[in-house]
Amino acid sequence: MSTTLQEPAPRAAAGVVADQVVRRFGDRVVLDGLDLTIGRDELVVLLGPSGCGKSTLLRLLAGLDRPDGGRVEVPSRRAIVFQNDRLLPWQKVLRNVTLGLRGPDAERRALAALREVSLEERASAWPKQLSGGEAQRVSLARALVSEPELVLLDEPFAALDAITRLRMHDLVRELRHRHQASMLLVTHDVDEAIALADRILVMSHGRIGTEHSIRLSAGERDASVAREELRSALLADLGLANQH
């Protein structure tokens, strides 16, 4: 189902290349000649108000939707973490993780992935028995179990409470060390963007408006002058400069 275009010389250094991507819904142009490159091992956060086309772009990169113009090139091994956990309620946790796996060691790999999100002992639970944070960790494990080269995260922590969200940020940082993958995280949470990103892109008018490369240590991301400056710059980009 993925119609990855066969180009003679793909830019192998990049995890994602999107060239002049256009997507319309009726008369409304949601993506208007958008360019985006994500390097290998890079975590890019896409920031923008709701309705700006963040999720549309993510769906294009996921192959769930086709562009009306331009070109999208992504690795064929990719995984998505959706806003809602989207666990199959009729399958136990382990079977949810093995959904896309083949081969005799599928269960062992799924258990390993569950161990990474500290949920190994919940493998035989039904999804209804999980808390919101646990369910989202299972969906993270489901995404990572196939060792994808690109992980797309569509506001994955938006529905979680603040404390759980902070724990999830730690988990994402930890998992990045173990899995070499490009990541694109879509969010509208400025603090989440600062906490996780190598690079923050702010969308406006169907394109990447501004771009901030983040070179802060973990401590600096929590509290520093540079962080506050970045934060107000991002809020200004989002048109929220006066509100904080």
Partner 1 sequence: MSLSLTAPTQARESAPADREVFLPRSGQRHSLLGTLRERLRWPLGIYTTPVVLLIVWEVLARAGAVSATYAPAPTSIVSTAHRLWVQGVLGPDLAISLRRAAIGLAIGLTIGVVAGIVGGLLRSGEYLFNGVVQVLNTIPLLAILPLMIVWFGIDELTKVLLISFGAGVPMYLNLFSAIRGVDQRLIEMARTTGAGTARLITRVLVPGALPGFLVGLRFSLAYSVLGLVAAETVNADKGLGFLITQGQTYLQTDQVFVGLAVYSILGLFADQFVRILERVLLRWRPSYEAS
Footprint on this chain of partner 1 (rule: CB under 8 A): 1, 62-64, 78-80, 82, 84, 86, 88-91, 95, 99-100, 126-129, 142-143, 146
Helix (H, G, I), strand (E, B) or coil at 143: helix
Selection from 48, 36, 44, 15 nearest residue 199 by Cα = 44
Q: Which is nearer to partner 1, 36 or 144 (CB)?
A: 144
Smallest distance from partner 1 to CB 166, Å: 26
Our CB check for partner 1 shows the closer of 133 and 148 to be 148
Residue 86 Cβ vs partner 1, minimum distance, rounded to whole Å: 4
**Whose Cβ is closer to partner 1: residue 93's or residue 119's?**
93
Pairing of strands 207-213, 199-204: antiparallel
Phi and psi based region of residue 205 (left: phi greater than 0; alpha: psi -120 to 50; beta: remaining): left
Distance CA 178, CA 113 (A): 11
* SS3 of 80-129: EECCCCCCCCCCCHHHHHCCCCCCCCHHHHHHHHHHHCCCHHHCCCCHHH
Residue closer to partner 1, measured from CB, 146 or 210: 146
CB of 59 to partner 1, least distance (A): 9
| Minimal distance, residue 151 CB to partner 1, in Å | 11
CA distance 81 to 172: 12
- Specify the DSSP element, H or E, that contains 225: helix 225-237
Which of residues 49 and 100 has its CB atom nearest to partner 1 in the complex? Answer: 100
Measure CA of the first residue to CA of the last residue in the chain; give whole Å.
45
Tell me how far, at minimum, the Cβ of 33 lies from partner 1, in Å: 26
202 within 8 A of 237, measured Cβ to Cβ: yes
Nearer to partner 1, 86 or 231 (CB): 86
Please, what is the minimum distance in Å from the beta carbon of residue 170 to partner 1?
25
Instruction: Tell the smallest beta-carbon distance from residue 88 to partner 1 (Å).
Output: 6
For the chain, counts of helices (H) and of strands (E): 8, 9
Q: Between residues 20 and 91, which has the closer beta carbon with respect to partner 1?
A: 91
